[in-house]
A and B are shown apart, each in its own frame.
Chain A
Amino acid sequence: MASSRNPIAGQAAIVGIGHTVQGELPGRSVEENAVDAALLALADAGLSVDDLDGLIGCKSVQGQGNDVTVGQLLGRNLPYVQSLDYGTCNFSLHLAVMAIVSGLASTILLTYGANARTAKFDFGKPMYGADMASAAGLVHISGRAGLALQRHKALYGTTDEQFGMLAVGQRQWAQKNPNAIFRTPMTMADYLAEPYMVEPLRRSDVTMISDGGVAVVVTTAERARNLPQQPVYVSGIAEHAGVRGEHNPENLMRPWLKDSAKAIWSTTGLTPADMDAVYIQDPTAVWSLQMLEYYGFCGLGEGGPFLAEGHTLPGGDLPLNTHGGQLSESYTWGWMHMVEAVRQLRGQAGERQLADPKVALYASSHGFLKAAASVLSTEESVAA
Protein backbone atom coordinates (compact mmCIF):
# COMPACT_ATOMS: atom_id res chain seq x y z
CA MET A 1 0.00 0.00 0.00
CA ALA A 2 1.30 3.46 -0.82
CA SER A 3 2.36 5.72 2.00
CA SER A 4 3.57 9.29 2.00
CA ARG A 5 7.02 7.98 2.77
CA ASN A 6 7.02 5.66 -0.21
CA PRO A 7 4.30 6.64 -2.67
CA ILE A 8 5.36 4.17 -5.35
CA ALA A 9 5.41 1.09 -3.11
CA GLY A 10 3.80 -1.91 -4.74
CA GLN A 11 2.04 0.15 -7.41
CA ALA A 12 3.96 -1.26 -10.38
CA ALA A 13 5.23 -4.74 -11.15
CA ILE A 14 7.52 -6.42 -13.63
CA VAL A 15 5.37 -8.94 -15.44
CA GLY A 16 7.46 -9.93 -18.44
CA ILE A 17 11.13 -10.61 -19.13
CA GLY A 18 12.87 -11.51 -22.36
CA HIS A 19 16.34 -11.65 -23.81
CA THR A 20 18.21 -12.88 -26.85
CA VAL A 21 21.23 -15.13 -26.75
CA GLN A 22 24.08 -13.14 -25.23
CA GLY A 23 27.38 -13.33 -27.07
CA GLU A 24 28.19 -12.57 -30.68
CA LEU A 25 25.28 -11.66 -32.93
CA PRO A 26 26.96 -10.44 -36.09
CA GLY A 27 24.99 -8.41 -38.58
CA ARG A 28 22.26 -7.43 -36.15
CA SER A 29 21.66 -3.86 -35.10
CA VAL A 30 21.10 -2.61 -31.59
CA GLU A 31 17.43 -2.12 -32.47
CA GLU A 32 16.98 -5.61 -33.90
CA ASN A 33 18.40 -7.12 -30.71
CA ALA A 34 16.14 -4.91 -28.61
CA VAL A 35 13.02 -5.84 -30.55
CA ASP A 36 13.80 -9.58 -30.55
CA ALA A 37 14.00 -9.37 -26.76
CA ALA A 38 10.86 -7.23 -26.61
CA LEU A 39 8.74 -9.83 -28.38
CA LEU A 40 9.96 -12.50 -25.94
CA ALA A 41 9.18 -10.27 -22.95
CA LEU A 42 5.68 -9.58 -24.23
CA ALA A 43 5.06 -13.30 -24.78
CA ASP A 44 6.36 -14.02 -21.28
CA ALA A 45 3.88 -11.47 -19.92
CA GLY A 46 1.00 -12.93 -21.91
CA LEU A 47 0.62 -9.63 -23.73
CA SER A 48 0.97 -8.32 -27.26
CA VAL A 49 2.39 -5.09 -28.61
CA ASP A 50 -1.18 -3.77 -28.83
CA ASP A 51 -1.52 -3.98 -25.05
CA LEU A 52 1.24 -1.41 -24.59
CA ASP A 53 0.77 2.28 -23.97
CA GLY A 54 4.39 3.04 -23.15
CA LEU A 55 7.91 2.38 -24.45
CA ILE A 56 11.23 3.27 -22.86
CA GLY A 57 14.28 2.65 -25.04
CA CYS A 58 17.61 2.56 -23.25
CA LYS A 59 20.43 3.87 -25.38
CA SER A 60 23.40 1.64 -26.10
CA VAL A 61 26.99 2.72 -25.55
CA GLN A 62 27.00 3.96 -29.15
CA GLY A 63 23.92 6.12 -28.54
CA GLN A 64 21.59 3.83 -30.53
CA GLY A 65 18.44 2.01 -29.51
CA ASN A 66 16.43 4.90 -28.10
CA ASP A 67 12.64 5.18 -28.10
CA VAL A 68 12.58 6.79 -31.54
CA THR A 69 14.60 4.13 -33.35
CA VAL A 70 13.17 1.10 -31.51
CA GLY A 71 9.70 2.60 -31.91
CA GLN A 72 9.94 2.47 -35.68
CA LEU A 73 10.41 -1.30 -35.58
CA LEU A 74 7.68 -1.81 -32.98
CA GLY A 75 5.44 0.25 -35.22
CA ARG A 76 2.96 1.72 -32.73
CA ASN A 77 2.32 5.35 -31.84
CA LEU A 78 1.99 5.08 -28.07
CA PRO A 79 0.90 7.71 -25.53
CA TYR A 80 4.22 7.61 -23.69
CA VAL A 81 7.64 6.99 -25.24
CA GLN A 82 10.86 8.02 -23.59
CA SER A 83 14.60 7.48 -23.56
CA LEU A 84 17.40 8.29 -21.18
CA ASP A 85 20.61 9.75 -22.51
CA TYR A 86 22.65 7.20 -20.60
CA GLY A 87 22.05 4.57 -18.19
CA THR A 88 21.37 1.28 -16.81
CA CYS A 89 18.20 -0.65 -16.43
CA ASN A 90 17.55 0.82 -13.00
CA PHE A 91 17.10 4.37 -14.25
CA SER A 92 14.77 3.14 -17.01
CA LEU A 93 12.79 1.09 -14.49
CA HIS A 94 12.37 4.17 -12.32
CA LEU A 95 11.14 6.15 -15.31
CA ALA A 96 8.56 3.44 -15.99
CA VAL A 97 7.36 3.35 -12.38
CA MET A 98 6.99 7.13 -12.33
CA ALA A 99 5.00 7.07 -15.59
CA ILE A 100 2.69 4.40 -14.18
CA VAL A 101 2.17 6.12 -10.82
CA SER A 102 1.49 9.46 -12.54
CA GLY A 103 -0.95 7.90 -14.99
CA LEU A 104 1.03 8.76 -18.11
CA ALA A 105 0.98 5.08 -19.05
CA SER A 106 -0.09 1.77 -17.56
CA THR A 107 1.78 -0.95 -19.45
CA ILE A 108 5.28 -0.10 -20.54
CA LEU A 109 7.90 -1.99 -22.51
CA LEU A 110 11.52 -1.32 -21.60
CA THR A 111 14.15 -2.29 -24.14
CA TYR A 112 17.91 -2.48 -24.40
CA GLY A 113 20.08 -3.66 -27.26
CA ALA A 114 23.83 -4.03 -27.63
CA ASN A 115 26.08 -4.94 -30.52
CA ALA A 116 29.24 -3.34 -29.19
CA ARG A 117 31.16 -6.60 -29.53
CA THR A 118 30.70 -7.29 -33.21
CA ALA A 119 30.55 -3.56 -33.99
CA LYS A 120 33.98 -3.32 -32.31
CA PHE A 121 33.13 -0.26 -30.25
CA ASP A 122 36.28 1.52 -29.02
CA PHE A 123 36.14 1.37 -25.22
CA GLY A 124 39.62 2.88 -25.00
CA LYS A 125 38.58 6.29 -26.25
CA PRO A 126 38.69 9.08 -23.66
CA MET A 127 35.77 8.75 -21.24
CA TYR A 128 35.07 12.43 -20.74
CA GLY A 129 36.39 13.92 -23.95
CA ALA A 130 39.98 14.96 -24.44
CA ASP A 131 41.28 16.11 -21.08
CA MET A 132 44.47 15.92 -19.03
CA ALA A 133 43.50 12.47 -17.84
CA SER A 134 43.33 11.05 -21.34
CA ALA A 135 46.51 12.87 -22.29
CA ALA A 136 48.18 11.09 -19.37
CA GLY A 137 46.82 7.77 -20.66
CA LEU A 138 44.05 7.39 -18.08
CA VAL A 139 41.70 5.76 -20.59
CA HIS A 140 39.17 2.92 -20.32
CA ILE A 141 36.99 2.38 -17.27
CA SER A 142 39.59 0.11 -15.68
CA GLY A 143 41.86 3.15 -15.22
CA ARG A 144 39.57 5.09 -12.93
CA ALA A 145 38.19 1.96 -11.28
CA GLY A 146 41.76 0.80 -10.68
CA LEU A 147 42.58 4.10 -8.96
CA ALA A 148 39.62 3.58 -6.64
CA LEU A 149 40.68 0.01 -5.83
CA GLN A 150 44.31 0.96 -5.21
CA ARG A 151 43.11 3.63 -2.78
CA HIS A 152 40.85 1.09 -1.06
CA LYS A 153 43.76 -1.31 -0.71
CA ALA A 154 45.97 1.38 0.78
CA LEU A 155 43.33 2.65 3.21
CA TYR A 156 41.91 -0.65 4.39
CA GLY A 157 44.48 -3.29 3.55
CA THR A 158 42.23 -5.02 1.02
CA THR A 159 44.16 -7.85 -0.63
CA ASP A 160 44.07 -9.33 -4.12
CA GLU A 161 42.73 -12.59 -2.65
CA GLN A 162 39.87 -10.81 -0.95
CA PHE A 163 38.97 -8.68 -3.96
CA GLY A 164 39.37 -11.70 -6.26
CA MET A 165 36.46 -13.38 -4.47
CA LEU A 166 34.20 -11.24 -6.65
CA ALA A 167 35.55 -12.51 -9.97
CA VAL A 168 35.88 -16.08 -8.70
CA GLY A 169 32.43 -15.99 -7.10
CA GLN A 170 30.76 -14.61 -10.20
CA ARG A 171 32.26 -17.46 -12.18
CA GLN A 172 30.86 -19.98 -9.69
CA TRP A 173 27.39 -18.55 -10.19
CA ALA A 174 27.85 -18.44 -13.99
CA GLN A 175 28.64 -22.16 -14.04
CA LYS A 176 25.05 -22.73 -12.95
CA ASN A 177 23.67 -20.43 -15.67
CA PRO A 178 23.29 -21.77 -19.22
CA ASN A 179 22.98 -18.17 -20.52
CA ALA A 180 26.39 -17.20 -19.20
CA ILE A 181 29.24 -16.60 -21.64
CA PHE A 182 32.17 -17.32 -19.28
CA ARG A 183 31.53 -20.67 -17.59
CA THR A 184 35.03 -22.17 -17.50
CA PRO A 185 35.90 -22.89 -13.86
CA MET A 186 38.23 -20.31 -12.30
CA THR A 187 39.91 -21.00 -8.97
CA MET A 188 41.52 -18.33 -6.80
CA ALA A 189 44.89 -19.66 -7.98
CA ASP A 190 43.77 -19.19 -11.60
CA TYR A 191 42.66 -15.67 -10.77
CA LEU A 192 45.87 -14.71 -9.02
CA ALA A 193 47.91 -16.17 -11.88
CA GLU A 194 46.26 -13.78 -14.33
CA PRO A 195 48.54 -10.87 -15.18
CA TYR A 196 47.39 -7.40 -14.26
CA MET A 197 45.64 -5.56 -17.06
CA VAL A 198 45.56 -2.17 -15.33
CA GLU A 199 47.16 -2.88 -11.96
CA PRO A 200 45.53 -3.57 -9.50
CA LEU A 201 42.82 -4.89 -11.89
CA ARG A 202 43.03 -8.12 -13.84
CA ARG A 203 41.07 -9.00 -16.95
CA SER A 204 38.54 -10.99 -14.90
CA ASP A 205 37.75 -7.95 -12.74
CA VAL A 206 36.30 -6.08 -15.71
CA THR A 207 33.16 -6.69 -17.77
CA MET A 208 33.21 -8.65 -20.96
CA ILE A 209 31.73 -6.99 -24.03
CA SER A 210 28.92 -8.96 -25.66
CA ASP A 211 26.00 -8.46 -28.02
CA GLY A 212 22.42 -9.06 -27.05
CA GLY A 213 18.98 -7.66 -26.39
CA VAL A 214 17.02 -7.51 -23.14
CA ALA A 215 13.50 -6.30 -22.41
CA VAL A 216 11.03 -6.17 -19.55
CA VAL A 217 7.37 -5.29 -19.28
CA VAL A 218 6.16 -3.20 -16.34
CA THR A 219 2.50 -2.62 -15.53
CA THR A 220 0.13 -1.64 -12.73
CA ALA A 221 -0.23 -3.91 -9.71
CA GLU A 222 -3.89 -4.22 -10.57
CA ARG A 223 -3.26 -5.51 -14.08
CA ALA A 224 -0.36 -7.67 -12.91
CA ARG A 225 -2.74 -9.78 -10.81
CA ASN A 226 -4.44 -11.07 -13.95
CA LEU A 227 -1.33 -11.98 -15.92
CA PRO A 228 0.27 -15.44 -16.09
CA GLN A 229 3.53 -14.79 -14.22
CA GLN A 230 4.10 -14.17 -10.53
CA PRO A 231 4.32 -10.35 -10.42
CA VAL A 232 7.58 -8.87 -9.14
CA TYR A 233 6.63 -5.61 -7.44
CA VAL A 234 8.77 -2.51 -7.28
CA SER A 235 8.81 -1.84 -3.55
CA GLY A 236 11.02 1.21 -3.52
CA ILE A 237 13.26 3.34 -5.72
CA ALA A 238 16.04 5.78 -4.94
CA GLU A 239 18.65 7.76 -6.82
CA HIS A 240 21.43 10.19 -6.05
CA ALA A 241 23.68 12.21 -8.33
CA GLY A 242 27.39 12.82 -8.26
CA VAL A 243 27.28 15.16 -11.25
CA ARG A 244 29.72 17.58 -9.63
CA GLY A 245 32.06 14.98 -11.02
CA GLU A 246 35.76 15.44 -10.51
CA HIS A 247 35.02 18.55 -8.48
CA ASN A 248 33.82 16.29 -5.69
CA PRO A 249 36.80 15.53 -3.49
CA GLU A 250 37.67 11.84 -3.86
CA ASN A 251 34.99 11.38 -6.52
CA LEU A 252 36.66 8.18 -7.72
CA MET A 253 35.40 6.53 -4.52
CA ARG A 254 31.87 7.58 -5.58
CA PRO A 255 30.89 8.67 -2.07
CA TRP A 256 27.38 9.65 -3.20
CA LEU A 257 26.50 5.96 -3.47
CA LYS A 258 25.89 6.08 0.27
CA ASP A 259 23.23 8.73 -0.33
CA SER A 260 21.21 6.49 -2.67
CA ALA A 261 21.72 3.71 -0.10
CA LYS A 262 20.39 5.87 2.70
CA ALA A 263 17.40 6.82 0.55
CA ILE A 264 16.44 3.26 -0.46
CA TRP A 265 16.51 2.02 3.13
CA SER A 266 14.64 4.99 4.52
CA THR A 267 11.98 5.00 1.80
CA THR A 268 11.26 1.28 2.13
CA GLY A 269 11.85 0.95 5.88
CA LEU A 270 13.90 -2.14 5.08
CA THR A 271 17.52 -2.95 5.96
CA PRO A 272 20.30 -4.86 4.22
CA ALA A 273 19.49 -7.85 6.47
CA ASP A 274 16.02 -8.06 4.86
CA MET A 275 17.46 -8.78 1.40
CA ASP A 276 17.37 -12.38 0.16
CA ALA A 277 19.65 -11.54 -2.77
CA VAL A 278 21.51 -8.55 -4.12
CA TYR A 279 22.16 -7.51 -7.71
CA ILE A 280 24.93 -5.02 -8.36
CA GLN A 281 25.58 -3.78 -11.86
CA ASP A 282 29.27 -4.52 -12.24
CA PRO A 283 31.17 -3.14 -15.23
CA THR A 284 34.08 -3.70 -12.87
CA ALA A 285 34.24 -5.71 -9.65
CA VAL A 286 35.22 -2.46 -7.91
CA TRP A 287 31.58 -1.38 -8.22
CA SER A 288 30.46 -4.45 -6.25
CA LEU A 289 33.05 -3.85 -3.55
CA GLN A 290 31.94 -0.23 -3.20
CA MET A 291 28.22 -0.95 -3.19
CA LEU A 292 28.41 -3.82 -0.72
CA GLU A 293 29.96 -1.32 1.67
CA TYR A 294 27.92 1.78 0.90
CA TYR A 295 24.60 -0.12 0.96
CA GLY A 296 25.55 -1.43 4.37
CA PHE A 297 26.01 -5.16 3.77
CA CYS A 298 29.31 -4.68 5.57
CA GLY A 299 31.10 -1.70 7.09
CA LEU A 300 33.03 0.89 5.11
CA GLY A 301 36.44 -0.58 4.36
CA GLU A 302 35.36 -4.06 5.45
CA GLY A 303 34.49 -5.31 1.97
CA GLY A 304 37.66 -7.37 1.65
CA PRO A 305 37.23 -9.52 4.77
CA PHE A 306 33.48 -9.71 4.10
CA LEU A 307 34.07 -11.15 0.63
CA ALA A 308 36.69 -13.56 1.96
CA GLU A 309 34.09 -15.00 4.32
CA GLY A 310 32.13 -16.23 1.30
CA HIS A 311 28.78 -14.55 1.95
CA THR A 312 28.25 -13.73 -1.72
CA LEU A 313 29.09 -17.17 -3.13
CA PRO A 314 26.62 -19.96 -4.00
CA GLY A 315 25.44 -21.28 -0.63
CA GLY A 316 26.29 -18.00 1.15
CA ASP A 317 23.82 -15.84 3.06
CA LEU A 318 24.06 -12.88 0.64
CA PRO A 319 23.80 -14.28 -2.88
CA LEU A 320 25.32 -11.65 -5.21
CA ASN A 321 24.54 -11.57 -8.94
CA THR A 322 23.32 -15.16 -9.08
CA HIS A 323 23.61 -15.17 -12.89
CA GLY A 324 27.32 -14.28 -12.93
CA GLY A 325 26.93 -10.55 -13.53
CA GLN A 326 28.85 -8.60 -16.12
CA LEU A 327 32.07 -10.35 -15.16
CA SER A 328 30.90 -13.81 -16.21
CA GLU A 329 27.38 -13.78 -17.68
CA SER A 330 27.06 -10.96 -20.21
CA TYR A 331 27.54 -7.24 -20.79
CA THR A 332 24.13 -5.54 -21.12
CA TRP A 333 24.65 -2.67 -18.62
CA GLY A 334 22.89 -4.40 -15.77
CA TRP A 335 19.75 -5.36 -17.69
CA MET A 336 20.36 -9.07 -17.18
CA HIS A 337 20.76 -8.35 -13.47
CA MET A 338 17.14 -7.30 -13.36
CA VAL A 339 16.04 -10.27 -15.48
CA GLU A 340 17.84 -12.57 -13.04
CA ALA A 341 16.29 -10.89 -9.99
CA VAL A 342 12.86 -11.49 -11.52
CA ARG A 343 13.71 -15.10 -12.36
CA GLN A 344 14.85 -15.78 -8.81
CA LEU A 345 11.82 -14.10 -7.25
CA ARG A 346 9.54 -16.10 -9.54
CA GLY A 347 11.36 -19.34 -8.70
CA GLN A 348 12.45 -19.89 -12.31
CA ALA A 349 16.24 -19.86 -11.93
CA GLY A 350 16.91 -23.56 -12.46
CA GLU A 351 20.05 -25.02 -10.95
CA ARG A 352 20.96 -21.74 -9.23
CA GLN A 353 17.50 -21.13 -7.74
CA LEU A 354 17.67 -19.71 -4.22
CA ALA A 355 15.42 -21.08 -1.48
CA ASP A 356 12.21 -19.05 -1.70
CA PRO A 357 13.59 -15.51 -2.06
CA LYS A 358 11.05 -12.73 -1.51
CA VAL A 359 13.01 -9.45 -1.59
CA ALA A 360 16.05 -8.36 -3.61
CA LEU A 361 18.07 -5.18 -3.96
CA TYR A 362 19.13 -4.04 -7.41
CA ALA A 363 21.80 -1.33 -7.21
CA SER A 364 23.52 0.31 -10.14
CA SER A 365 25.33 3.42 -11.21
CA HIS A 366 26.06 5.57 -14.20
CA GLY A 367 29.84 5.62 -14.05
CA PHE A 368 31.15 8.40 -11.88
CA LEU A 369 27.95 10.43 -12.11
CA LYS A 370 24.79 8.79 -10.76
CA ALA A 371 23.49 6.08 -8.46
CA ALA A 372 20.19 4.21 -8.52
CA ALA A 373 18.63 1.49 -6.39
CA SER A 374 15.41 -0.53 -6.46
CA VAL A 375 13.93 -3.04 -4.08
CA LEU A 376 12.01 -5.80 -5.88
CA SER A 377 9.64 -8.16 -4.15
CA THR A 378 7.12 -10.94 -4.63
CA GLU A 379 4.84 -9.10 -2.18
CA GLU A 380 2.79 -6.00 -2.94
CA SER A 381 3.59 -4.70 0.51
CA VAL A 382 6.92 -5.41 2.16
CA ALA A 383 6.82 -2.77 4.87
CA ALA A 384 9.15 -3.78 7.64
Chain B
Amino acid sequence: MSGDLSPVDDPVAGPFFAGILEGRFTAQRCNSCEALRWPPLSGCPDCHSRSTTWVEVAPTGTIWSFVVYHRAFQASLKEEIPYTVAMVELDDGPYVVGRLVPGDKPPAVGDRVVAELGEFGGVPSVRWRTA
Protein backbone atom coordinates (compact mmCIF):
# COMPACT_ATOMS: atom_id res chain seq x y z
CA MET B 1 0.00 0.00 0.00
CA SER B 2 1.25 3.47 -0.69
CA GLY B 3 0.24 6.95 -1.77
CA ASP B 4 -3.05 8.06 -0.27
CA LEU B 5 -3.19 5.31 2.28
CA SER B 6 0.32 5.69 3.73
CA PRO B 7 0.56 7.53 7.06
CA VAL B 8 4.30 7.00 7.59
CA ASP B 9 5.37 10.51 6.62
CA ASP B 10 3.20 12.15 9.29
CA PRO B 11 5.57 14.07 11.61
CA VAL B 12 3.39 13.52 14.70
CA ALA B 13 2.90 9.80 14.14
CA GLY B 14 6.42 9.19 12.81
CA PRO B 15 7.89 7.81 16.07
CA PHE B 16 5.23 5.10 16.16
CA PHE B 17 6.33 3.73 12.80
CA ALA B 18 10.01 4.05 13.70
CA GLY B 19 9.24 2.07 16.87
CA ILE B 20 7.54 -0.69 14.90
CA LEU B 21 10.68 -1.14 12.79
CA GLU B 22 12.64 -1.56 16.04
CA GLY B 23 10.12 -4.11 17.28
CA ARG B 24 8.47 -1.79 19.80
CA PHE B 25 4.71 -1.12 20.04
CA THR B 26 4.41 2.41 21.41
CA ALA B 27 1.86 5.10 22.23
CA GLN B 28 2.19 8.67 23.41
CA ARG B 29 2.22 9.44 27.12
CA CYS B 30 1.71 13.00 28.32
CA ASN B 31 4.66 14.09 30.43
CA SER B 32 2.42 16.30 32.53
CA CYS B 33 -0.76 14.31 33.31
CA GLU B 34 0.58 10.91 32.19
CA ALA B 35 -2.47 10.12 30.04
CA LEU B 36 -1.80 7.58 27.30
CA ARG B 37 -3.11 8.58 23.93
CA TRP B 38 -3.84 7.11 20.54
CA PRO B 39 -4.05 8.23 17.77
CA PRO B 40 -1.02 10.49 18.22
CA LEU B 41 -1.61 14.21 18.68
CA SER B 42 0.76 17.19 18.88
CA GLY B 43 -0.50 18.04 22.37
CA CYS B 44 -2.45 16.60 25.25
CA PRO B 45 -6.23 17.11 24.93
CA ASP B 46 -6.62 16.81 28.71
CA CYS B 47 -3.98 19.17 30.19
CA HIS B 48 -2.65 20.84 26.97
CA SER B 49 0.96 20.01 27.67
CA ARG B 50 2.95 19.49 24.48
CA SER B 51 5.60 17.47 26.23
CA THR B 52 5.25 13.84 25.23
CA THR B 53 7.16 10.59 25.54
CA TRP B 54 6.62 7.57 23.34
CA VAL B 55 6.36 4.61 25.69
CA GLU B 56 5.99 0.92 25.04
CA VAL B 57 2.50 -0.46 25.64
CA ALA B 58 1.43 -4.06 26.11
CA PRO B 59 0.62 -5.54 22.69
CA THR B 60 -2.55 -7.16 24.01
CA GLY B 61 -6.19 -6.19 24.10
CA THR B 62 -9.75 -7.19 23.25
CA ILE B 63 -11.76 -6.70 20.08
CA TRP B 64 -14.05 -3.71 20.67
CA SER B 65 -15.60 -4.22 17.23
CA PHE B 66 -14.70 -5.37 13.74
CA VAL B 67 -15.89 -5.19 10.13
CA VAL B 68 -15.30 -7.40 7.11
CA TYR B 69 -14.76 -5.59 3.81
CA HIS B 70 -16.24 -7.36 0.81
CA ARG B 71 -15.80 -4.37 -1.43
CA ALA B 72 -12.52 -2.64 -2.31
CA PHE B 73 -13.00 1.12 -2.03
CA GLN B 74 -9.43 1.67 -3.24
CA ALA B 75 -7.72 -0.04 -6.16
CA SER B 76 -4.83 -0.97 -3.86
CA LEU B 77 -7.23 -3.02 -1.71
CA LYS B 78 -8.69 -5.06 -4.57
CA GLU B 79 -6.59 -8.15 -4.03
CA GLU B 80 -7.11 -8.12 -0.29
CA ILE B 81 -10.89 -8.54 -0.07
CA PRO B 82 -12.39 -9.99 1.93
CA TYR B 83 -10.34 -8.44 4.75
CA THR B 84 -11.15 -7.75 8.38
CA VAL B 85 -10.42 -4.56 10.33
CA ALA B 86 -10.69 -4.55 14.11
CA MET B 87 -10.90 -1.74 16.63
CA VAL B 88 -9.02 -3.07 19.63
CA GLU B 89 -9.19 -1.77 23.18
CA LEU B 90 -5.66 -2.20 24.51
CA ASP B 91 -5.19 -3.57 28.00
CA ASP B 92 -3.33 -0.31 28.62
CA GLY B 93 -6.36 1.79 27.63
CA PRO B 94 -6.20 3.37 24.17
CA TYR B 95 -8.14 2.07 21.15
CA VAL B 96 -5.97 1.03 18.21
CA VAL B 97 -7.32 0.04 14.82
CA GLY B 98 -5.64 -2.50 12.59
CA ARG B 99 -6.05 -5.39 10.21
CA LEU B 100 -7.21 -8.60 11.90
CA VAL B 101 -5.73 -11.87 10.67
CA PRO B 102 -8.55 -14.41 10.56
CA GLY B 103 -8.14 -17.30 12.95
CA ASP B 104 -9.78 -20.72 12.99
CA LYS B 105 -13.17 -19.36 13.95
CA PRO B 106 -14.92 -16.10 13.01
CA PRO B 107 -13.90 -13.14 15.19
CA ALA B 108 -16.24 -11.83 17.88
CA VAL B 109 -16.46 -8.69 19.97
CA GLY B 110 -14.59 -9.37 23.21
CA ASP B 111 -12.06 -11.81 21.70
CA ARG B 112 -8.54 -11.47 23.09
CA VAL B 113 -5.96 -10.36 20.52
CA VAL B 114 -2.21 -9.90 20.31
CA ALA B 115 -0.43 -7.37 18.12
CA GLU B 116 1.98 -8.61 15.50
CA LEU B 117 4.46 -5.93 14.45
CA GLY B 118 5.84 -5.67 10.98
CA GLU B 119 5.61 -4.11 7.56
CA PHE B 120 2.24 -4.89 6.04
CA GLY B 121 1.63 -3.75 2.49
CA GLY B 122 4.79 -1.66 2.81
CA VAL B 123 3.56 0.21 5.91
CA PRO B 124 5.13 -0.48 9.33
CA SER B 125 2.09 -1.25 11.40
CA VAL B 126 0.31 -3.69 13.70
CA ARG B 127 -1.77 -6.64 12.71
CA TRP B 128 -4.08 -8.30 15.21
CA ARG B 129 -4.18 -12.03 15.79
CA THR B 130 -6.71 -13.74 18.01
CA ALA B 131 -4.93 -15.03 21.10
Asked if residues B65 and A252 are in contact (CB atoms below 8 Å), the reply is yes
Q: Which residue of A lies closest to B3 (CB)?
A: A130
Alpha-carbon gap, A195 to B69, bound state (A): 11
Alpha-carbon gap, A133 to B4, bound state (A): 12
Known contacts being A132-B39, A132-B125, is A147 close to B6, with CB within 8 Å?
no
- Is A303 positioned at the interface, with any CB of B under 8 Å from its CB? no
Q: Which residue of B lies closest to A148 (CB)?
A: B65
Asked if residues B73 and A138 are in contact (CB atoms below 8 Å), the reply is no
Chain A 137-149: CB-based contact to B (< 8 A → 1; otherwise 0)? 1111011001110
Alpha-carbon gap, A125 to B10, bound state (A): 17
Asked if residues B67 and A200 are in contact (CB atoms below 8 Å), the reply is yes
Alpha-carbon gap, A64 to B68, bound state (A): 33
- Is A196 positioned at the interface, with any CB of B under 8 Å from its CB? yes
Asked if residues B69 and A198 are in contact (CB atoms below 8 Å), the reply is yes
Query: How many B residues face the partner with a CB closer than 8 A?
Result: 40
Asked if residues A136 and B68 are in contact (CB atoms below 8 Å), the reply is no
Asked if residues B45 and A244 are in contact (CB atoms below 8 Å), the reply is yes
Chain A: interface size category: 35 or more
- Shortest beta-carbon distance, A243 to chain B, in Å? 10
Asked if residues B109 and A137 are in contact (CB atoms below 8 Å), the reply is no
Asked if residues A198 and B71 are in contact (CB atoms below 8 Å), the reply is yes
- Shortest beta-carbon distance, A194 to chain B, in Å? 11
Alpha-carbon gap, A150 to B65, bound state (A): 6
Q: Which residue of B lies closest to A150 (CB)?
A: B65
- Is B1 positioned at the interface, with any CB of A under 8 Å from its CB? yes
Alpha-carbon gap, A135 to B39, bound state (A): 13
Asked if residues A138 and B97 are in contact (CB atoms below 8 Å), the reply is yes
Alpha-carbon gap, A310 to B104, bound state (A): 38
- Is A249 positioned at the interface, with any CB of B under 8 Å from its CB? yes
Q: Which residue of B lies closest to A201 (CB)?
A: B67
Contact of A136 among B4, B38, B85 (CB under 8 A): B85
Other than the known A151-B65, A199-B69, A247-B37, what 15 A-B pairs have Cβ atoms closer than 8 Å? A125-B4, A125-B74, A132-B97, A133-B97, A134-B4, A135-B7, A135-B123, A137-B77, A139-B5, A139-B77, A147-B87, A150-B66, A196-B70, A199-B67, A246-B38
